Structure 1
Amino acid sequence: MSARRWVAVATATVLAAGSAALAGAGSAHATGEPGETGEKGGARAVVLRTDLDVALANKSVHVPLALSLNEVSAPQSARKTALTASLDGVDGGRRFTVLRAEVADAVAAVEGGKAESSATLAKARVHVPGLPRLGLIELEKVSAKAVCEAGRTPLASATLPGTVTVLGKRVRLTSNGPTEVKVPGVGEVRLDLSKTETTSRTAVATALQLSVSVNPLKLNVAAVEGTVTLVEARCEAPGVQKQQGERQQEAAVPEEDSGAGAGVEPQGERGEPGEKEQVANLAETGGDSATPYVAAGAVALLGVGAGAVLLSRRRKS
């Protein structure tokens, strides 16, 4: 093989090897696998929750009325759609129905970097002991939703009907603040409407919360006090995932010298990059630790080729 042809083949081989190495490094940075995930996040929803105290027989007996309907939680996706909630032992030994509804839906899920929950209640009527025929509240439809996505601002929302019926009294709901309903001889109810709260990673939406104080005709047969929550959704965003390339670049950033004090200029700011800075520059351009060796090999092969050309010319002369 002539000297010139040998040089051409050697050069092409070196350039091909260098291109393959750089291409491999570039693809690793561009399509790095997801890194370790932080907190998995969570979501929770509930249609009805009660925290009531039922005083029976002139308040000589107290029965806690604490229950929840269609309460679900994630990371594992979950959904419940039961339409009634009942209790035993608070209505003269008979089964007592606290809630009846045509729609009672609660959903919670965490997947794809997003935690989301929602709850809906429609055509519903809530009862408390002592008022078997008169509903504590009747409503058409309420809903709440919370969405928490990694790296984004959480969202919380709730929707309410224009009017509801409380203790048999038609009440118009407004956004001006809590609504109080007083019915002589029956009791009073305070409604806190559409409460939402968000932080950097969490969201909570509550459609309705009722503060209840009921004592029909003040007979002390079944006096009820406490709170009733209707339709609530909560979520917490999962941790942000990091790509493999991002973690490599973070590892390549030079650490500050803990012993540097006043008047000592950190290395690198004077235009004299250290070894760690060189590694960081290689990471930014897509190269890796093999790049200097590939370049050195190319220079060596080109030098050998040039020597072969000079030797050939001398022989001809």
Structure 2
Amino acid sequence: MSVLRTVAASALAASALAVALPMPAHAADAGASAKPGKASAVTAELALDVTLLNAIKVPVNVALNKVESPAQRDGAMLTATVDGVDNGKPVNLVKAQVGKSVTKVDDKQATASVQLVGADVHVPGLPLTTLLGLDAMSTEVTCPVNGQPTAKVTSPVKLTVLGKSVTVGLNSPTHVDVPAIGTVDVEFSKKTVTSSTAAASALEVQVSINPLNLNVAKVDGKVTIAAVSCEKPVPAAAPATDTSATPSPSGTAPGTTGQNRTAPKESGEELAYTGSTGTAAMAAGGFTLLVAGGAAVWMTRRRRAAHARQR
């Protein structure tokens, strides 16, 4: 009996060791994105070609409050120095009471917005004439991870172009012709929305003027007011579930035990999956060792008893 106890104790110790071995954890990070979202916003942007009286062309590419997510910027003044214009003095291109660009990105959505209040937009060569004057205007785009992107533009109550009050149309650019100065085409609320992106601009203004002032012969280009865009985040794909395993008679997949099941979540906490197919095999090996040891002791005792009877 002492031999049997020794073998049994060894087998039980091996089984306990197998169960106590550390098991790999596979914690799923459900909040991570495979591809982060994007967002950008600019309160005002000027892309102009300025031709001086001596036929030299000077590019003017400047932006007010241009940001990309995640960021926010406030500003009310955009001043640039244009070579050869007004003897090198700074040119005030945009002046506003409020100019604000905001972009935000997280795992749920990407958003961008622009707010502009009391703005005057100028071009080189026309220091006393306002190219654009508007009281208030805003744009906003939203790209949710689950849902259709949206774009919204709030029109200005009042808009002037080269000093003339105009009403912008929704279907086509508004053309403004000012004698001895030039022409301006204003397109309002230009929006583009796809299944994953959205973009909008409150005003896009094509400029072609001949000021003949401050050494400026001609100004051509585009002025964009309150432009925003976004791209939705792409969530990480969930790990594929292996359905090829054939369930055992006990109702669980081969090589698994009840300890392999995921514990329920509490308080929003993500619990790690634990378990190993090697655990069941080691436990089974310990049980087999116990049975084999007991059988060996029983056979030895039987042979001894038979030998004693033969004497």
TM-score computed with the length of structure 1 as normaliser? 0.67
Deviation at 1:182, TM superposition (A): 0.4
Question: For the residues of structure 1 that align with 2:29 and 2:207, how far apart are their CA atoms?
Answer: 54
C-alpha spacing 1:47/1:35, structure 2 compared with 1 (3 Å): closer
State the structure with more CA Rg: 2
Question: For the residues of structure 2 that align with 1:46 and 1:233, how far apart are their CA atoms?
Answer: 7
SS at match of 1:216: coil
Match 1:79 to one of 56, 72, 95: 72
Structure 1 match to 2:162: 167
Please tell me whether residue 252 in structure 1 is matched to residue 252 in structure 2: no
RMSD between aligned alpha carbons? 3.8
| CA contact 1:124–1:140 (8 Å) conserved in 2 | yes
Residue ranges of structure 2 left out of the alignment (5+ in a row): 1-24, 263-274, 288-311
Deviation at 1:165, TM superposition (A): 0.5
Question: For the residues of structure 2 that align with 1:217 and 1:60, how far apart are their CA atoms?
Answer: 12
Deviation at 1:289, TM superposition (A): 7.0
1:138-153 residue pairs with structure 2 within 5 A?
Answer: 138-153=133-148
Please tell me whether residue 40 in structure 1 is matched to residue 36 in structure 2: yes
Percent of pairs with identical residues: 36
Q: Amino acid of the residue matched to residue 43 of structure 2?
A: V
| CA contact 2:125–2:213 (8 Å) conserved in 1 | no
Residues 45-54 or 233-242, more deviating = 233-242
Q: Amino acid of the residue matched to residue 252 of structure 1?
A: D
Number of aligned residues = 249
Question: For the residues of structure 2 that align with 1:195 and 1:273, how far apart are their CA atoms?
Answer: 59
Q: Amino acid of the residue matched to residue 75 of structure 2?
A: A
Question: For the residues of structure 2 that align with 1:35 and 1:216, how far apart are their CA atoms?
Answer: 56
Deviation at 1:241, TM superposition (A): 3.5
Question: For the residues of structure 2 that align with 1:171 and 1:185, how far apart are their CA atoms?
Answer: 19
Deviation at 1:34, TM superposition (A): 1.8
Please tell me whether residue 233 in structure 1 is matched to residue 199 in structure 2: no
Question: For the residues of structure 2 that align with 1:119 and 1:62, how far apart are their CA atoms?
Answer: 32
Question: For the residues of structure 2 that align with 1:108 and 1:221, how far apart are their CA atoms?
Answer: 37
Runs (4+) of structure 1 exceeding 4 A deviation are: 217-220, 286-290
SS at match of 1:252: coil
Residue ranges of structure 1 left out of the alignment (5+ in a row): 1-27, 255-267, 301-317
TM-score computed with the length of structure 2 as normaliser? 0.68
| CA contact 1:162–1:173 (8 Å) conserved in 2 | no
SS at match of 2:75: coil
| CA contact 2:116–2:226 (8 Å) conserved in 1 | yes
Structure 2 match to 1:118: 113
Structure 2 match to 1:49: 45
Q: Amino acid of the residue matched to residue 143 of structure 1?
A: S
Question: For the residues of structure 1 that align with 2:243 and 2:110, how far apart are their CA atoms?
Answer: 33
